Amino acid sequence: MSELHFGEVRLSLARSTGFTLEADLRIPSEGITVLFGPSGCGKTTVLRCVAGLERAHGIVRIGNEVWQDDDKGVFRPTYERSLGYVFQEASLFAHLNVEKNLTFGLERTKVKDGRERLAKAVELLGIGHLLGRRVSQLSGGERQRCAIARALCLRPDILLMDEPLAALDYARKREILPWLEKLRGELRVPILYVTHSADEMTRLADELVVMQEGKVRAAGPLAEVLGNVKVPVETEYGASTVLRGRVESVSDVWRSAVVAADGWRVEAVAAGFGVGSDVRLRILARDVSLALDKPVGLSIRNALPAVVEELGAPCGSEGAYLTVKLKARSGEGRILARVLRESAAELGLAPGLSVWALVKAVAVIV
C-alpha cells in the first residue's frame, strides 16, 4: 500500500430518517486529515464507523489491517481496532488524578512499552506538571490535552478526534490549538479530525475532506481544495485560502511581521512568533481587492504581484459577484479574490492578466 493510501474508507448508509451516507476517502500515513462540513453532514458518522462504534456497509482499512470488508464478511469490533478516540468531552475519571487516568488503560491492555509511550505523550503535550492534579482542578484545555495523551499512550495506528474543541470557549481553544499543531509536526500517527470550524480546519489540516449532505464534495491537499473556484469551500466567512510561509522579520515597534509565503512577502500582525517560525496565513477572498497598477498612498500594507489564473462562475445574491483565482508571478502561491461582476468587467479580468492583489495586514489571519 502506498504512503498516500495508508488508510481507505468506503462507506454507504441509509437511515429510516432519510439521511444517506456515501463516503469514499483516503488517509495518508502521517499528518491531519480534516473532515469538514456543517452539522449533520455525516462527519461524525464516518468517524464512528471507522472506530466500529456504528455500522455502515463498505470497507475500512488502516495500514495493513482490514477492520471491515462486508463483501468478505469481515467486521472487527472496536476493542480489536488499534485506535485512539478523543471525544468532544474529555471523559476523564473524576475520582482519579491525571496520572491514574492516563495509566488506567495501560494497566488493563498490557501495551508493550506503554509507560515509555506515556512519558513521550506527556512530554509532547506539556502536561507533566498536571500529573498529580485532580480532574476538577483542570481547565477544559488541560482536560483535552490529558485525553489526547491517554489515547496516544495505547500506541494506536490512527487517532480519531471528534470536534475536540467544540466544548471549549475561545480562550481555551487558543490555548490548545498550538498543542494540536505540535502533534501534527511531531507525531508519526495519522489523525482523522472532525470539525465544522474554519479556523481549526485551516490551522490544522494537511488533507481536507469537505462533506455536505452525507457525501464527499471535495478532497485533497488543503491549499488545493481551498483554491478550487469551481467547487469553492464556503464557511461562515466565505471562501478563503491558506499560504504556508516562514517569518522573515518582526517589528517590535509596530508589532507587525513579514512572512515569505509561496512567492509573496506578506505583512501581518505579529502573533507571538519569532523570526524563522513556520506559519500559515489564511486570507479571506472577501478581503482581497484587485488593481491593474500598483497603488500608492494607501494604508493597505500588502500589494501582491499576481496573475489571474481562473475565474469562477457568478455566485452570491442574484449572481452579483464572482471568485477570481490568483497566482503569484514568481512562486506557487495562490489566493482567491471575490469581486463584483461589474468590477471584473471594468478591469477586464481574464486568465493571464497581471494584477495587484491588495490585502490589509490586519485582515491576514495567522
Q: Is residue 125 scored above 80 in pLDDT?
A: yes
Q: According to the model, what pLDDT value does residue 31 have?
A: 93
> Residue 118 pLDDT more than 90?
no
Out of 2.40.50.1070, 2.40.50.100, 3.40.350.10, 2.40.50.140, the CATH code matching 240-363 is 2.40.50.100
**pLDDT tens digits, residue range 164-198?**
999 888 888 888 899 899 888 888 899 999 999 99
pLDDT of residue 4: 47
Q: pLDDT of 141-166, one tens digit each?
A: 999 999 999 888 878 999 999 999 99
Residue 271 — very low, low, confident or very high, per pLDDT cuts 50/70/90? confident
The predicted model gives 268-284 an average pLDDT of 93
- Which of the four pLDDT bands, split at 50, 70 and 90, describes residue 110? low
Q: How confident is the model at residue 106 (pLDDT cuts 50, 70, 90)?
A: confident
Q: DSSP assignment of 58-122, as one string?
A: EEEEETTEEEEEGGGTEE--GGGS-EEEE-SS----TTSBHHHHHHHHHHHH--TTHHHHHHHHH
First-to-last C-alpha distance (Å) of the chain: 36
- What local confidence, expressed as pLDDT, does residue 115 receive? 81
pLDDT at 277 over 80: yes
Q: pLDDT tens across 233-252, in order?
A: 988 888 999 999 999 999 99
Domain parsing of the chain, residue ranges = 3-226, 240-363
- Look at residue 89 in the predicted model and tell me its pLDDT: 86
Beta strands across the sheet bearing 264-269: 264-269, 256-261, 240-251, 278-284
Average pLDDT over residues 299-312: 97
- Distance CA(283)–CA(241), nearest Å, equals 6
Whether the domain at 3-226 and the domain at 240-363 fall into the same CATH topology: no
User: Comparing C-alpha atoms, which of 356, 299, 281 is closest to residue 326?
Assistant: 356
Whole-number pLDDT of residue 111: 65
Query: Considering the domain 3-226, what is its CATH architecture?
Result: 3-Layer(aba) Sandwich (3.40)
Residue 110 or residue 262, greater confidence: 262
Q: Using the predicted structure, report yes or no on whether residue 22 has a pLDDT greater than 70.
A: yes
pLDDT higher than 80, residue 40: yes
The pLDDT confidence band at residue 355, using thresholds 50, 70 and 90, is very high
Q: What is the pTM of this model?
A: 0.91
